[in-house]
Amino acid sequence: MSEQTKTKTVSDFFGCNVFSDKVMRERLPKNVYKSVQKTRQLGIALDQDVADVVANAMKDWAVEKGATHYTHWFQPMTGVTAEKHDAFISPTPDGNVILEFSGKELVKGEPDASSFPSGGLRATFEARGYTAWDPTSCAFIKDNSLYIPTAFCSYTGEILDKKTPLLRSMEVVSEQALRILRLFGNTTATRVTTTVGPEQEYFLIDKKLYEEREDLILTGRTLFGAKAPKGQELEDHYFGNINQRVSDYMKDLDEELWKLGIYAKTKHNEVAPAQHELAPVFTTSNIAADHNQLTMEIMKKTALKHGLVCLLHEKPFAGVNGSGKHNNWSISANDGQNLLDPGDTPQDNMQFLTFLCAIIKAVDEYAPLLRLSAASAGNDHRLGANEAPPAVISMFIGSELEGVIDALENGTVYQSVGNQSFEIGVDALPNFPKDSTDRNRTSPFAFTGNKFEFRMLGSADSISCTNTILNTIVAEVLSEFADELEKADDFDSALRALLVKTIKEHKRVIFNGNGYSDEWLAEAEKRGLPNLVSTVDALPEYTNEKYVTMFEKFKVYTATEIESRTEILLENYSKVINIEALTMLDIAKKKIIPCCISYTKGICDAAASKNSIGVDSSVETQLASKLSSLTEGIVKETDTLDKKVIAAQGKEEGLEMAKFYREEVFAQMQTLRALVDETEMNVSEDAWPLPSYSKLLFTV
């Protein structure tokens, strides 16, 4: 426990490293504070004079807290965050320094953008990039630097990051949702906000073992490894008691996150051995995205302090569950109402039903976009593998809402089953009201009471892309609804007709059954729902004309930006598989094949010694023969993999190359792995060059 938090309660140190609203109110002159508030709430740009005052106050506050540097902190297309630190110092004529930080430095930065992925945009913007402060997300202190959350764009204005489109999408969904609210007579709400609470899964393993695994170090996942005798089949890790080392880690992690103003709330063990989860209290989408990036970073850093390594890869270990991220999403107005709250009588809540139907239509019409927002080489291991939703997008709305929707479609009166309750049968225990929004853990997009939970994301993903897409597709449908309803003479009947039509056309996307079953895949195909199995199937959908038109209409992305993003993601896919394949080759050639040869030699030597004194050596002979033929197979498959990796380089960059990596290189990696894993089971643990799954998964 740190000194700072030893005797204090959480509320004493929560957000102590954040230049929060409270700090601003204390430290800024009243008129300046008001301008900043306006900027934060209404998105009006700050004047230079105001920015100077804010920057100076930020610097003073940061310096008091020990900061020496500041950095614009942004989210390029690498998937991780980027930062470049400048000291506050400025030389004085007498050879000393004073500490300075101007409004200009706060509001805008000019990092060299040449080495960030730009997907072909680079040529047009001469490598220069700009970062611009997002004043809705608070600055904070970490590692003696003042961090300023920023958006990142090119010299010519093309966006190069994940934050800018998210902010744009939040604006558009707000505008369109307000149009709908006005139609329902709401005159008080002035802004609608999307909120997100991302649940984050992760693995913790011992650092010493990690350091012996080149595959984990270079790729984040084990490329080889025979299954341990025990996996997750006893289901004893899920919500199991938390061992001391992990508990100490979680406590430390919570404290670090709280100091940064992150609402870390829930922690528990997950299904796979060595797997855990952290969930924060939800907040505004862009802040949730910033916080999730920070959370992932702090998770990794804090682990090192405990001699652990935190793995955020979607599939670190074959044979047990991988890690995902559940994106809990809702939409609320600034007059206090959650627009996805059905209330006690959803059948009479036409405003709720309008938003619900809009989301149903959006998910059905734009399913490929949602699917591709979760597409990555890592996540390909999970989707459809009975541990995460299938690659088919469907929606779970629960039996009550389905009943309401059916009644609406058929023009009948919905018969509520009323409030039911369970009796546990023990007098001392309370009766439970039966939850009308029952749970379904197999659906990619599930209604959970007053929010939707999109369950496809991978654990390492940024949540920005998903939420940008989600906000934009919902905005699109709301705008279609508003266009139609605004011109109606009779709002009530026009609304009813619109909702009935929407339900008829889009109810095919609703599925309340088991999403992991094969029957569902067959049924989904019958319903015409797209099944984009892998990243290379999903990504080309991005540039579909219909989607490009929508993004351009709302100025969330231009066609060029979408093309560049598709290119970056495809390239990234190929690069990831390439690195994995090269790492496999490295380990196979330098560690596994030599180990097989020397281990087999040891057995042959033993056989020879036995033979020399006339003792039967058939056991040794059999084992040596078996290993010899396995080794021969490994050498052959390694050679084939080598050739395929070389052949991949000859493919045209983009889709063709990515497909080759998936169909040829990745497939060959599986073949090689199977042989190596079989061999591992025939070699002494002391001789095998990689720590076993048993050790990795069960020794923390």
Cβ-contact 325, 382 below 8 angstroms: no
Q: Which residue has the tokens 């306006």?
A: 38
Site for ligand ADP in 256-285 (CB under 6 A): 266, 279-282
C-beta closer to ligand ADP: residue 196 or 524: 196
Among residues 117, 197, 322, 384, the one that binds ligand ADP under rule CB under 6 A: 197
**CB under 5 to 8 A by kind: which of ligand ADP, Mg ion, none does 279 bind?**
ligand ADP
- The interface partner of residue 280, options being Mg ion, ligand ADP, none and the CB cut-off 5 to 8 Å by kind, is ligand ADP
CB of 252 to ligand ADP, least distance (A): 21
Backbone phi, psi, residue 192, to 5°: -120, 135
Q: Nearest approach, Cβ of 455 to Mg ion (angstroms)?
A: 7
Least spacing, CB of residue 452 vs ligand ADP, in Å: 9
Phi, psi angle pair for 496, to nearest 5° = -55, -45
105's contact among Mg ion, ligand ADP, none, with CB below 5 to 8 A by partner kind, is none
Binding flag, residue 326, Mg ion (CB under 5 A): yes
Contacts with 547 (C-beta within 8 Å, 6 or more apart), sequence order: 366, 368, 369, 541, 562
CB of 412 to ligand ADP, least distance (A): 31
Please identify, using beta-carbon distances, which residue of 58 and 383 lies nearer to ligand ADP: 383
In angstroms, the CA 12 to CA 649 distance is: 56
- The per-residue DSSP string of 259-277 comes to HTT--EEEEEE-SSTTEEE
Which residue of this chain has its Cβ atom nearest to ligand ADP in the complex? 197
State the Cα torsion 97-101-102-104 to the nearest 10°: 120
- Tell me the number of residues near ligand ADP by CB under 6 A: 17
CB of 534 to Mg ion, least distance (A): 24
Contact 88, 43 (CB under 8 A): no
State in angstroms the smallest separation of the CB of 295 from Mg ion.
16
Closest by Cα among 692, 690, 699 to 228: 692
Name the DSSP letter for residue 431: P
Pick from Mg ion, ligand ADP, none: which does 5 bind, CB < 5 to 8 A by kind? Answer: none
264 vs 532, which CB is nearer to ligand ADP?
A: 264
Q: Which of 49, 50, 72, 69 is nearest to 59 (CA)?
A: 69
Give, to the nearest 10 degrees, the angle between helix 491-506 and helix 350-365: 40
Q: Is 325 in the site for Mg ion (CB under 5 A)?
A: no
| β-pairing verdict for 145-154 and 69-74 | parallel
CB of 450 to ligand ADP, least distance (A): 6
Contacts of 312 (CB under 8 A, 6+ apart): 202, 220, 296, 299, 300, 323, 459, 460
CB of 416: closest distance to ligand ADP in angstroms? 24
As a whole number of angstroms, the distance between CA 372 and CA 376 comes to 8
Q: Could you give the string, one character per residue 199-218, with x where binding to Mg ion holds by CB under 5 A and - elsewhere?
A: x-------------------
Q: Which is nearer to Mg ion, 326 or 673 (CB)?
A: 326
Cβ–Cβ under 8 Å, residues 466 and 472: no
Q: Is 446 in the site for ligand ADP (CB under 6 A)?
A: no
Query: Residue 555 has what DSSP assignment?
Result: T
Binding segment for Mg ion (CB under 5 A), chosen from 67-75, 323-331, 391-399, 598-606, is 323-331
Which lies closer to ligand ADP via its Cβ, residue 22 or residue 265?
265
Residue 172 buriedness (CB in 10 A; 0-12 / 13-18 / 19+): buried
From the CB of 358, what's the least distance to Mg ion, in Å? 23
Site string for Mg ion, 164-203 (x = CB under 5 A): -----------------------------------x----
CA–CA dist 87, 98 (Å, integer): 11
φ, ψ dihedrals at 194, nearest 5° = -95, 140
From residue 280 to residue 319, the character string flagging contacts with ligand ADP as x (rule: CB under 6 A) and all else as - is: xxx-------------------------------------
For ligand ADP, the binding residues in 51-110 under the rule CB under 6 A are none
> In whole angstroms, how close is the CB of 340 to Mg ion at the nearest point?
16
Which residues of the shown chain bind ligand ADP in the complex (CB under 6 A)? 195-197, 199, 266, 279-282, 326, 328-330, 338, 450-451, 453
Which residues of the shown chain bind Mg ion in the complex (CB under 5 A)? 199, 326
